[in-house]
């Protein structure tokens, strides 16, 4: 089994070849190819490489499938006996990416 952990805008994602990953919104069009080169861990058949801090010999290629927004979450602030209640909603933008290849240099 082959997997990697990559960093995208200070968040870490565990990915495998052929899976779909949901990241924060990326400003590119659907169908465009995207390359990630900030890989901090790579594992293949039980052998693991750990970067110090980044592995420079591994590149991950993916393709943008979809853009969208998550389900709405509600934020509620409430103080009892003070006649104060505030509600707010938020929908996060996302991009779905299909991981096509993990390339070792």
What share of the chain in percent tops pLDDT 70?
100
Q: What is residue 28's predicted lDDT score, i.e. its pLDDT? A: 96
Rounded Cα distance, 96 and 98, in Å: 7
> pLDDT tier at 9 (50, 70, 90 boundaries)?
very high
> pLDDT tier at 36 (50, 70, 90 boundaries)?
very high
pTM across the whole model: 0.84
**In the chain, domain spans:** 2-67+96-104
Q: Tell whether the model's pLDDT for residue 105 goes beyond 90.
A: no
Mean pLDDT value across the chain:
96
Distance from chain centroid for Cα 46: 24
Please give the angle made by the CA atoms of 5, 102 and 98, to the nearest 5 degrees.
80
């Amino acid at each position: 089994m082959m997997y990697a952990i990559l960093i995208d805008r200070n968040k870490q994602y565990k990915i495998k070849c052929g899976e779909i990953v949901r990241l924060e919104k990326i400003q590119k069009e659907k169908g465009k190819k995207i390359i990630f080169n900030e890989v901090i861990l790579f594992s293949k058949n039980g052998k693991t490489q750990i970067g110090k801090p980044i592995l420079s010999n591994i590149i991950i290629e993916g393709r943008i499938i979809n853009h969208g927004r998550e389900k709405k979450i509600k934020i509620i602030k409430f103080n009892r006996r003070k006649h104060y209640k505030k509600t707010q909603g938020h929908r996060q933008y996302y991009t779905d990416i299909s991981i096509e290849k993990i390339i070792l240099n």
